[in-house]
Amino acid sequence: GQQVQQSPASLVLQEGENAELQCNFSSTATRLQWFYQHPGGRLVSLFYNPSGTKHTGRLTSTTVTNERRSSLHISSSQTTDSGTYFCAIDDDTNAYKVIFGKGTHLHVLP
Amino acid sequence: EAAVTQSPRSKVAVTGGKVTLSCHQTNNHDYMYWYRQDTGHGLRLIHYSYVADSTEKGDIPDGYKASRPSQENFSLILELASLSQTAVYFCASLGEERNTLYFGAGTRLSVL
C-alpha cells in the first residue's frame, strides 16, 4: 500500500526565517492535501494540491506528481505558525482511503 | 462551512468496558473516516465508510468496530476497551466538491 514519509520530523526556527517541509510518497496519488494542527487541536486543511503549485498568504505548496513528492514552503515564519503539519494522500488502490504522514512539528521562536 | 461534530469531547473508560464515540456531519458528504492520533504516529486510519450501512477497514481496525446508520452519523465502537486504545480520535468527512477532508475537534479517550 501507499507509504507517506514527511521530513524533517521536527524543525525549530527563529521568527522571520523560512521553512521547507517535505512529503514523499511511494505510489501515484490523485488526492494530496496539506493540513495544519495546532497543538491538541482540530486539523485544518491548508491545500488540496495533487499537482503543480498553489499559494495562499505566506504558504506555497508544490507537488511534482511523477517524482512522488510535495513540499510546503512557509515564508517569513511567525510564532503563530507553530504546530504540526501533515501531508495526506490517497491509497494507491483506493482513492477514498486517505492516509497521513507522521507530520512535521514546527516551533517558531520569538 | 462544513461541520463535523464529535461527542464526547473527552472520556475516561475502564479496561474491558464498552465505549462508543459518535460523529455527526451536516455536510451531506458520502465519505466519513475515523482516525486515531498518538504521539510519534501521526494519524492512523481505523475505519471509513462511503455509504450508509456499509463500513470499510482502514489500516488499524483490530479492536474497533464502526457503524454508519445514516449518511450523517458514523460511530466508532470499542467493545472491550484496552489500555493501548488511549489516544485522541478524530472523525472526518470528505467533500468531493473540494477534495478536502473536514475534521471534527477530536475525542480524547483515556482507558484506565
On chain B, the residues whose CB falls within 8 A of the CB of A31 are 99
**Closest-CA distance of chain A to residue B99, Å:** 7
Residue where the block lists cell 508544490:
A62
Q: Which residue has the higher pLDDT, A36 or A30?
A: A36
Residue where the block lists cell 486539523:
A43
* Amino acid at site B52: A
Per-residue confidence band for A27, with pLDDT thresholds at 50, 70 and 90:
confident
Candidates B6, B10, B35, B43: best to mutate against A (most CBs of A within 10 A) is: B43
Which pLDDT value is given to residue A37?
95
- Asked if B100 and A48 come within 8 Å (Cβ–Cβ), the reply is yes
The torsion angles phi and psi of A80, rounded to 5 degrees, stand at -75, -10
**Closest-CA distance of chain B to residue A14, Å:** 24
Q: Does A31 touch chain B (CB under 8 A)?
A: yes
Which pLDDT value is given to residue A95?
74
Closest-CA residue of A relative to B96 is: A96
How far apart are alpha carbons A6 and A49 in whole angstroms? 16
CA angle A18, A84, A2 (to 5 degrees): 105
Neighbours of A18 (CB within 10 A): 11
Across A21-59, b (16+ Cβ under 10 Å) vs e yields bebbbeeebebbbbbbbeeeebbebbbbbbeeeeeeeeb
User: Average pLDDT, stretch B59-80?
Assistant: 97
On chain A, the residues whose CB falls within 8 A of the CB of B3 are none
B94: pLDDT strictly greater than 70: yes
pLDDT digits (tens, 9 = 90+) for A32-50: 999 999 876 889 999 999 9
CA angle B102, B104, B109 (to 5 degrees): 145
Beta bridge mates, A2? none
- Asked if B42 and A86 come within 8 Å (Cβ–Cβ), the reply is yes
* Amino acid at site A92: D
The torsion angles phi and psi of B90, rounded to 5 degrees, stand at -120, 140
B1: pLDDT strictly greater than 90: no
Which pLDDT value is given to residue B98?
63
On chain A, the residues whose CB falls within 8 A of the CB of B31 are 96
Q: Which grid cell is A55? A: 499559494
CA angle A34, B26, B95 (to 5 degrees): 35
On chain A, the residues whose CB falls within 8 A of the CB of B88 are 40
B56: pLDDT strictly greater than 90: yes
pLDDT digits (tens, 9 = 90+) for B9-44: 999 999 999 999 999 999 889 999 999 999 777 899
How far apart are alpha carbons B52 and A42 in whole angstroms? 25
Which pLDDT value is given to residue A39?
76
A84, HSE (Cβ side, Cα atoms, 13 Å): 22
* Amino acid at site B101: L
pLDDT digits (tens, 9 = 90+) for A80-107: 999 999 999 988 788 788 899 999 999 9
Mean pLDDT score across all residues of chain A: 92
